[in-house]
Amino acid sequence: MRQMNTVKVTINGIQFEAEPNTTILKVASANGISIPTFCYHPNLSIAANCRMCLVEVEGAPKLLPACQTEIRDGMKIWTESEKVKSWRKQNLEFILLHHPIDCPICDAAGDCKLQNFYNEYDWEKSRLWSFTDKLHKSKRKILGPNVIYDAERCILCTLCIRFCKEIYGQHLLDSRNRGNRREIIVAEGETLDFPYSLMLTEICPVGALTNRHFRFKKRCWFLSSSPGICPGCATGCATIVDHDEGIIFRLRPRQDIEVNGPWLCDDGVLAGELHNTERISSPAILVNGEQKPVSMEMAIQKAGEILKQTPSEKIGVVLSAGCTCEENSALMNAREALNITGPIFIEGRPEGEEDNILRNKDKNPNKRGAKLVAQGKETLERKDLIELVNAGKIDVLLCLGSDGPDKDDFHRNASIISLSSRRGNLSNNASVVFPAPSYAETKGTYINFKGMERKFDISIKSWGSYKPPLQVWETLNILFEKTGITAKKFSGDNLWVSAR
Ligand code: SF4
Ligand code: SF4
Ligand code: FES
């Protein structure tokens, strides 16, 4: 039955109902009909300048832009008629007239709308090249610390200009000249140095704006892509992790309407660094004031000795706001198994910049989750940790993650047992270090600053000779087993569920 307040349209002979004032493009894509677009983005204003989305509408004297034209009751639309197909070819021929076609050296190759549409809709030689030389414009123009511009590849869709104005709220980009000499420039008196600049390289439909950190690092068809959650701050944006051979090359946004929509900040795009750098690759113990790599057995033995010879009230447990609920639950499980009665601390990265778009000043993805894992028990902060160690009330710290006080903050030594993926204050000063998986090598749950729970799976598994470290709960299970401590065994799947 037809619902009130809807209109009927026919697309390619099939009838659909939709709300009035919806554009043809939206009705088509909601019903699985694809129409090519360059200058359209669902979160930006409509410019209708690329003409790639033109469709045939009964009674209209000319083809109409699907991204801009609203449906009317009884409208008949064709998206694949001969007229439309012929237009797409002509439009691509025109766009490609002065395009350098340097796909072999373009970072966007394999992931470029112009390349894809040419393959899908055109696949013809230009009729015009013999009549005209290619026009040359600026290439490799550095627009800011993260973004480089190639004016010859630019199709002047203005998505980049609109993103700066409408999402970031500043008129940072502009264009100069007219016709085929037109190109994008940084607006007068501005610099393209803002926390969302890499989203420009994400929305640019061709290889005109490229990410300076990713440039020439990897052809996109060699990358494996897995869904993840950004570890950069407490917003918890949904990501796609692009990786190869155990290295993360970039994070891209994955739509989560309630959290980040289609965007990420630059810290998020570059958060691969938290996986790629400063990694702890082997267990180690402190010998004569220096950490020496040792076997897992030796590290387990040393950790067992330290824990067994320390009164339980003098052992502090340090949860990590950067680790998952499951990893933190594993540590709380160890606390229970070892009958530790000392305090619980939560450590993490220091606060940073925030804004009203995405970035949160809490630069940890899971402080709220770590608090929940403590199940109502009091959790203390860094200043308390320093005070208690210096006052001789804590002798041992069993820690997750590497963030924590600097050595110079203590005037008395505590033995640190650290389970961490990266080097940092706690692992650098530890008596025993166990390597732990990075955020991309574990699966689990983060709870963002609004209390939204997001689960993610392992992105990076074994690769050739590279084996990711044992999961935190696996290391702790071995510790219990080898040191004769009776504890419930957990896996990543049941840890968070059983902790709630
Ligand atoms: S640089 Fe990219 S996003 Fe900006 S106008 Fe050119 S093609 Fe469009
Ligand atoms: S806002 Fe926070 S969670 Fe989102 S991409 Fe940036 S650092 Fe990552
Ligand atoms: S997508 Fe409609 S005119 Fe560009």
Residues at CB less than 6 angstroms from ligand 3: 37-40, 48, 50-53, 65, 67
Assign 226 to helix, strand or coil: strand
Enumerate residues 6+ apart whose C-beta is below 8 A from 181: 135, 137
Q: Which ligand is nearest to the CA of 157?
A: 1
229 lines ligand 2 (CB under 6 A): no
The pLDDT tens digits along the chain (500 residues) read 555 589 999 999 999 999 999 999 999 999 999 999 999 999 999 999 999 999 999 999 999 999 999 999 999 999 999 999 999 999 999 999 999 999 999 999 999 999 999 999 988 887 877 777 888 999 999 999 999 999 999 999 999 999 999 999 999 999 999 988 999 999 999 999 999 999 999 999 999 999 999 999 999 999 999 999 999 999 999 999 999 999 999 999 999 999 999 999 999 999 999 999 999 999 999 999 999 999 999 999 999 999 999 999 999 999 999 999 999 999 999 999 889 999 999 999 999 999 999 999 999 999 999 999 998 899 999 999 999 999 999 999 999 999 999 999 999 889 999 999 999 999 999 999 999 999 999 999 999 999 999 999 999 998 777 789 999 999 999 998 888 777 666 666 666 655 55
Instruction: Tell me which residue has its CA closest to atom 7 in ligand 2.
Output: 232
User: What domains appear along the chain, each with residue ranges and CATH number?
Assistant: 7-94 (3.10.20.740), 104-276 (3.30.70.20), 284-499 (3.40.50.740)
Ligand 1 centroid to residue 266 C-alpha, Å: 18
**Which residue of 194, 358, 360 sits with most ligand 2 atoms within 8 Å of its CB, as the best mutation to test the pocket?**
358
Q: Which ligand is nearest to the CA of 207?
A: 1
CA 302 to mean position of chain CA atoms: 38
Residue type for position 489: K
**Which residue of 206, 210, 211 sits with most ligand 1 atoms within 8 Å of its CB, as the best mutation to test the pocket?**
206
Are residues 242 and 248 in contact, defined by beta-carbon separation less than 8 angstroms? Answer: yes
Instruction: Tell me which residue has its CA closest to atom 1 in ligand 3.
Output: 37
Are residues 100 and 56 in contact, defined by beta-carbon separation less than 8 angstroms? Answer: no
Instruction: Tell me which residue has its CA closest to atom 2 in ligand 1.
Output: 204
Cα angle 490, 471, 416; round to 5: 100
Ligand 2 centroid to residue 280 C-alpha, Å: 24
**Which position has the token pair 């690329």?**
50
**Which position has the token pair 């044992």?**
470
Instruction: Tell me which residue has its CA closest to atom 6 in ligand 1.
Output: 154
